[in-house]
Chains A and B, each alone.
Chain A
């Protein structure tokens, strides 16, 4: 091969340019920003959980309604922080008839949950997920994580951080419109 140095240099240069382009496209990213839930736009995973008051809640029992599912527990600090927003949201929509809110607790004890719910005056459905199975089915990646499920059973919204009232309203809106 004549002038092998030039060929090799050209090959190396090509690889370097490709890498450079890839880097340039990614500069300015924030890779620590939470990504969208893997469940987005998929069907809600079937679940069936016991609630605090002794009955059960399941994906079937909630079918046809717009559902906000909120994963939390009593020792997660951001969960405490978002509680007022959740209460305000529920106060506004509990009488709507087509909206349901379910708080799913994992990694906690029934006793602590019960006393917390009592203290804080939480009046939406609270379900217990002792083995974290529902949490895994929902592909949760931390706490608190909130999902919005449309009446047709599709996950149309998710957020992996504290919710605000505005955020909840927006999720509700999208879910209702999806139908």
Chain B
């Protein structure tokens, strides 16, 4: 019943896509408004179908309907409710179902937002493109990745999800948030294709999709950070980013997406870089599909290889067609897109954005090259090669530092051209703050070049951001007589893009500083302790108190209780553990982490306490990890702020008390 309902919903969804595509194409050709409006309605049909399909799957999971293969493989009677619900995305077929739902949602958003422009060919072609993408995913689900496949013999109990997917609450957040990001980039892609096909290149499509693009970017950023957090809290190897192929695959669209949301600002202001921006959008979308391909096809070895499947060829073909169509369209229309604007000066906001584009593109290139190089080398040479963390760190760090410098300096650069006087006024003090910070860092013991540069540039950036906020608040206080906090609130809300962007940059600085500190200093030690024995690592005293075993329907857990003290202060009892699940012979380690403002103490159980009451613990001290997550939170707040609607200025009855200070031309604006 549930399988039939779900499968029927998929068929209806695919059908709605086909009808929608045909009707929209016909409507554009014949300029028939009725057809175009009908096509719009089909989009809503797709959304309804995907909601029903997801509903059917969740129903099946919650009721433990093991006649469906997907439920039997990803759920068991002993699985806790949370992980039953999240089982929807525990493996391939279900996650495609989730992708379909989110895509349906975004398409419906577009159809709704542009309801008054339903007869506009750009919108129609955009919707068609979106429906083609949706059709592909529905076809995947009807065929090679059918989530509603039934089993001939119904097992009594299911296998349950992969152990790593049922031992932390982050499972509920990381995949959906990541998908909200990935799938969201379909929206600007749809409109880019719409613009290319119809030949309408004005900035209209940019403004139209601005909000959706920023939303997608925000989710993708947050999703990647959640993934890093998961890697840290759940996988137990002590780090948060391993340059794993699938991690890289999620980073690639983020890099081109970030380049895009910055580069559109030039296009809005000066009408330049249209072809480049279109290419970035197209590349971002293709990279999301490439990412899915790398994750699901088994081409590269990865920690994310939770599912093996044979949808690899399908994804590759779809990717090939998308890439070919986009490149073809760009080659056809590209030359007629050249814009009249020119760059006047090497030291200007435009040049800074150009440099920004170059650096992000270089980063994306490096990450892509490093990820696929082992494959290429093996194809050419026959012997295997590895490209791992040392390579990526070495190549991306200088580029990252250069980007940090741009982030600090560029918001203060005026458009078109500048003078030494302007630069001095805006940048000198923040730059000196940065320089002095570098000295302080060295005095306090920092020794790595890149690390100290990161601190200095971070301080430079923060000083610039603070200056910006102060100017904004002061301006309002002097001109409108508002009090401090009120002025701050109103200033930010009257220009949310600017201030939201500054807050996001603040978050980036926190993350950069955390990255610099943690890569320089992490320490790692292994201790073997008998019950009651103590060991001291980096100033922490650890006492092994004994082990505890607990059993539930879901798993059996052995944990080692360790008392942690620093000096004479007790910090608590921490319990790293190893859990064994009925569906797996290997135990899954769960680290125990004490998060501090300056550093984290990270404990893992290397081997179960065997006979003799001895336990082997791995002890790591990781500096500044908390600031990665705080920085991520700040970036999220900044993104939300940037999305806020602009405060309409009410006619002010207050008379200006003082001459308005020379207004600072608008600075960095991002997205919204």
Contact = CB atoms under 8 A, between A and B. Distances in A.
Interface string B415-440: 00000000000000000000000000
A138 B297 CA distance: 33
B533 interface: no
A20 B320 contact: yes
A25 interface: yes
> What interface size band does chain B fall in?
20 to 34
B335 A27 contact: no
Contacts, number: 72
A5 B330 CA distance: 7
Contacts of B372: 19, 22
Contacts of A10: 331
Given A20-B316, A23-B375, A27-B313, A6 B297 contact: no
A31 interface: yes
A3 B335 CA distance: 6
Contacts of A6: 331, 334-335
Contact of B299 (A3, A13, A26): A26
A16 B330 CA distance: 15
Contacts of B298: 27-31
Interface in B176-208: none
Interface string B288-304: 00000100011111000
B652 interface: no
B312 A28 contact: yes
B330 to A, nearest CB: 6
Interface string A1-45: 001111011101100100110111111111110010000000000
Interface string A82-94: 0000000000000
A160 B312 CA distance: 28
Q: Which of B293, B299, B308, B334 has the most C-beta atoms of chain A within 10 angstroms of its own C-beta?
A: B299
A161 interface: no
Given A16-B323, A28-B298, A30-B298, A77 B585 contact: yes
B650 interface: no
> What interface size band does chain A fall in?
20 to 34
A5 B335 contact: yes
A35 B375 contact: no
A154 B466 CA distance: 70
B331 A32 contact: no
B355 interface: no
B335 A23 contact: no
B116 interface: no
A35 B319 CA distance: 30
Contacts of B585: 77
A5 B196 CA distance: 14
A22 B376 contact: yes
Interface in A23-81: 23-32, 35, 75, 77
A71 B164 CA distance: 30
A35 B335 contact: no
Interface in B266-312: 275, 293, 297-301, 305, 308, 310, 312
A30 B320 CA distance: 22
B327 A23 contact: no
B339 interface: no
A24 B300 contact: no
Contact of B331 (A9, A24, A27): A9
A162 to B, nearest CB: 12
A82 to B, nearest CB: 15
B20 to A, nearest CB: 29
Interface in A92-131: none
Nearest to B314: A27
A111 to B, nearest CB: 12
Contacts of B330: 5, 9
Contacts of B647: none
B331 A5 contact: yes
B284 to A, nearest CB: 14
A30 B337 CA distance: 45
B301 A23 contact: no
Contacts of A22: 372, 375-376, 379
Interface in B342-364: none
B324 interface: yes
Contacts of A24: 313, 316
A13 B372 CA distance: 17
A4 B298 CA distance: 37
A32 B327 contact: no
B384 A35 contact: yes
A19 to B, nearest CB: 6
Nearest to B330: A9
Given A13-B327, A22-B379, A32 B305 contact: yes
Contacts of B334: 4-6, 8-9
Interface of B: 275, 293, 297-301, 305, 308, 310, 312-313, 316, 319-320, 323-324, 327-328, 330-331, 333-335, 337, 372, 375-376, 379, 384, 585, 610
9 contacts: A5-B330, A6-B331, A13-B324, A13-B327, A20-B320, A20-B323, A22-B375, A27-B312, A32-B305
Interface of A: 3-6, 8-10, 12-13, 16, 19-20, 22-32, 35, 75, 77
Given A6-B331, A24-B316, A35-B384, 18 more contacts: A3-B335, A6-B334, A9-B327, A9-B328, A9-B330, A9-B334, A12-B327, A13-B323, A19-B372, A23-B293, A23-B297, A24-B313, A25-B379, A27-B312, A28-B312, A31-B305, A32-B301, A77-B585
The 4 closest A-B pairs by CB, nearest first: A5-B334, A9-B331, A31-B301, A27-B312
